[in-house]
Amino acid sequence: MTDLRIERVRGEASLLDWQFAHNAIIPTATLSFTEVTERAGRNRLSVGYAGDVLVGCSTVRPPGPDAPVATVIARILPAHRGRGLGSQLYAHGLELARKLGAEVIETCVLESNPEGLRFALRQGFVERERYLLPGGTVPFVDLRLA
């Protein structure tokens, strides 16, 4: 297993790395730099590196005041999958979500990412819903940790 260095997004360079990884993995819902900056203000965004090579990104949407539900999303660029990096990035996000008070964990995967869906199911997630974003053509799959 390759060691993964995970850094919280801080500053323009890491925002751009997060944006690149997200948009490469979710090409049907790309985000502008402004949108990524806005997300970084309300979520915990991280980037993962193997050495100095960007391999993925993660998002932790913290639980809200009315519900102890957090969303943990780990994304690994296709060229770096199958090396345990997703497991490391997911474990980091799961730990952070629990520290933030989450009692329930959800995730979201693009339907056209079968590796991501298989990964989520192996982690113990169960599908809850499939939906299209306005103007979208590929559904997202929402899952909850059983």
Percent pLDDT > 90 in the chain is: 85
pTM (2 decimals)? 0.93
Taking the C-alpha atoms of residue 78 and residue 101, their distance in angstroms, rounded to an integer, is 31
**CA proximity to 2, closest of 81, 120, 118, 93:** 81
Question: What is the spatial order of strands in the sheet that 53-61 belongs to?
Answer: 5-8, 44-50, 53-61, 69-76, 104-110, 140-145, 125-131
Domain harbouring 66, CATH code: 3.40.630.30
Is residue 1 very low, low, confident or very high in pLDDT (cuts 50, 70, 90)?
Answer: low
d(C-alpha 108, C-alpha 116), whole Å: 9
Domain of 111 in residue numbering reads as: 5-145
pLDDT in tens, 21-72: 999 999 988 999 999 999 999 999 999 999 999 999 999 999 998 899 999 9
The domain total for the chain is: 1
